[in-house]
A = this chain, B = another copy of it.
């Protein structure tokens, strides 16, 4: 069995941002020499995720807006009545008692999930034609890490 590990650091310009990383993951697979196996792509943070979806700007913008409704930030006025009700009952996250303001990003991490496992066949990511891999940053503008772990042979 072969294995190969890559740690990558991201610092997004925006607080919330999708960053396409399909090519970075394929590069890690190439370096590994693995022809048949799997690669784990996992955020090393609790306020970020990994999403496999369409590299189409509309859906990515839709997704950030929608995630703000389901997992609303408390650092700005909720835009809808639903978002207001989905905030914690006391009006702010208990998590913020320690000085944080990113409770919503923890919930976005829960919804999106922090990791995916991708299949490798014949040395290539075995994805469908529209599947692209995105690092999903929900509390950025600082250095954060991602791990790619390739195993197989």
Which residues of A are interface residues toward B (Cβ below 8 A)?
Answer: 1, 3, 5, 36-38, 40, 42-46, 51-54, 56-59, 61-63, 65-66, 69-71, 79-83, 85-86, 88-89, 93-98, 103, 106-107, 109-121, 126-128, 130-131, 145, 147, 149, 151-153
Minimum CB distance partner of A81 in chain B: B85
Known contacts A38-B151, A85-B80: A94-B53 contact under CB 8 Å: no
Question: Is A116 in contact with B115, judged by CB distance below 8 angstroms?
Answer: yes
Subset of 7 A-B contacts with CB under 8 Å? A40-B117, A52-B114, A53-B106, A54-B106, A59-B103, A62-B107, A128-B145
A80 CA to B82 CA in the complex, in Å?
10
A126 contact set on B, CB distance < 8 A: 5, 44, 147, 149
A86 CA to B130 CA in the complex, in Å?
25
Question: Is A58 in contact with B94, judged by CB distance below 8 angstroms?
Answer: yes
Known contacts A59-B93, A82-B85, A128-B46: A66-B107 contact under CB 8 Å: yes
Contact for A62 among B42, B95, B147, CB less than 8 A: B95
Known contacts A45-B128, A82-B82, A117-B117: A152-B107 contact under CB 8 Å: no
Question: Is B62 in contact with A94, judged by CB distance below 8 angstroms?
Answer: yes
A43 CA to B130 CA in the complex, in Å?
11
